């Protein structure tokens, strides 16, 4: 997800479109990205966090969260 404070023009365009379609009450839309990884059992959550820090997210502008399932 783009961090709070970073303008998300795509999210803003989606919010306008929802309003134009008659969906009222949508105060804000933030658009993000889901990346699914198919992992060996040997890969830890810590490894995935390192992947996020080094490539999957740009932490200058994006926040991320990891879910292992």
Binding site for other proteins (CB under 8 A): 2, 6-7, 9-10, 13, 54-56, 58, 60-61
Smallest distance from other proteins to CB 40, Å: 21
Distances (CA, A) of 63 to 2, 19, 23: 6, 27, 28
Smallest distance from other proteins to CB 61, Å: 5
Comparison of 29 and 56: residue with beta carbon closer to other proteins: 56
Question: d(Cα 44, Cα 67) in Å, to the nearest integer?
Answer: 11
The DSSP secondary-structure symbol of 52 reads: I
Smallest distance from other proteins to CB 4, Å: 12
Here the tokens at position 4 are 């709070």
């Amino acid at each position: 997800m783009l961090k709070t404070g970073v303008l998300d023009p795509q999210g803003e365009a989606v919010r306008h479109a929802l309003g134009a379609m008659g969906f009222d009450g949508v105060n804000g839309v933030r658009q993000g990205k889901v990346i699914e990884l198919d992992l060996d059992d040997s890969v830890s959550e810590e490894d995935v966090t390192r992947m996020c820090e080094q490539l999957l997210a740009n932490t200058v502008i994006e926040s991320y969260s990891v879910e292992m399932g």
